[in-house]
């Protein structure tokens, strides 16, 4: 189990620029290095209404785009609630990008009442993410939000 309190402090130190692209790239690379048993970590962004398009990520090339109506990522965007899935194969509309993925954690990212995007983590281990991981990753998303200026594209919808 990673020490999320320590990871939160380390991410605060790493994100010394206000730019969303730099910080998103650094955040997913940091998570991929520091959180064990992940095969994919990255961002999907709402650059046009109700559509998630691929942002900075680590892992295999991924599905793009994902409408709000589809998949675990779409569910997180629609509901604005973190989705923690022990077995993605049990989810009817799960979108399989990497056959290695068995469990998934998707955290919505909100700015000024608008859904900016989601942070998506995939693991090859069933049930990889528990409540502590969820709270820890949500805390890392809060650091990302606090350290990052609003992107231009957020104001368009
Ligand atoms: N599995 C996701 C799609 C994104 S990939 O895992 C990177 C979903 O069902 O939304």
In whole angstroms, give the CA distance from residue 138 to residue 64: 24
In whole angstroms, give the CA distance from residue 24 to residue 15: 9
Residue 78 lies in a domain: yes
Cis bond before residue 59 (omega within 30° of 0):
no
Residue 156 lies in a domain: no
The pTM assigned to this predicted structure is 0.95
Residue 154 lies in a domain: no
Q: What is the pLDDT of residues 82-141, one digit of tens each?
A: 999 999 999 888 888 888 999 999 999 999 899 999 999 999 999 999 999 999 999 999
Q: Which two tokens stand for residue 96?
A: 């399989």
Supply the CATH number for residue 47's domain.
3.30.450.40
| 120 contacts 43 by C-beta, under 8 angstroms | yes
**Ligand 1 site-directed mutation target among 73, 106, 108, most atoms within 8 Å of CB:** 73
**How many distinct structural domains can be found in the chain?**
1
Residue 118 lies in a domain: yes
Confidence of residue 146 (pLDDT cuts 50, 70, 90): very high
Average of per-residue pLDDT values in the chain: 95
Q: Domain range holding 131?
A: 4-149
Residue 125 lies in a domain: yes
Residue 90 lies in a domain: yes
Name which residue sits closest to atom 5 of ligand 1, judged by CA.
97
Residue 72 lies in a domain: yes
Q: What is the pLDDT of residues 34-92, one digit of tens each?
A: 999 999 999 999 999 999 999 999 999 999 999 999 999 999 999 999 999 999 999 88
Residue 157 lies in a domain: no
- Kindly give, in sequence order, each residue whose CB lies less than 8 Å from that of residue 32, ignoring residues fewer than 6 positions away: 38, 41, 58, 59
């Amino acid at each position: 189990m990673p020490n999320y309190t320590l990871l939160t402090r380390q991410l605060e130190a790493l994100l010394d620029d206000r730019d969303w692209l730099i910080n998103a790239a650094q955040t997913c690379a940091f998570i991929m290095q520091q959180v064990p048993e992940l095969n994919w970590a990255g961002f999907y962004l709402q650059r046009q209404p109700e559509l998630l398009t691929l942002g900075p990520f680590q892992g295999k090339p991924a599905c793009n785009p994902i409408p709000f109506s589809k998949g675990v990522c779409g569910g997180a965007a629609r509901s604005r609630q973190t989705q923690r899935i022990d077995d993605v194969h049990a989810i009817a509309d799960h979108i399989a990008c990497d056959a290695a993925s068995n469990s998934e954690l998707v955290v919505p990212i909100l700015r000024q009442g608008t859904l900016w995007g989601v942070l998506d983590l995939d693991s090859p281990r069933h049930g990889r993410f528990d409540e502590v991981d969820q709270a820890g990753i949500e805390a890392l998303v809060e650091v990302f939000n606090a350290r990052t200026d609003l992107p231009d594209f957020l104001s368009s919808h």
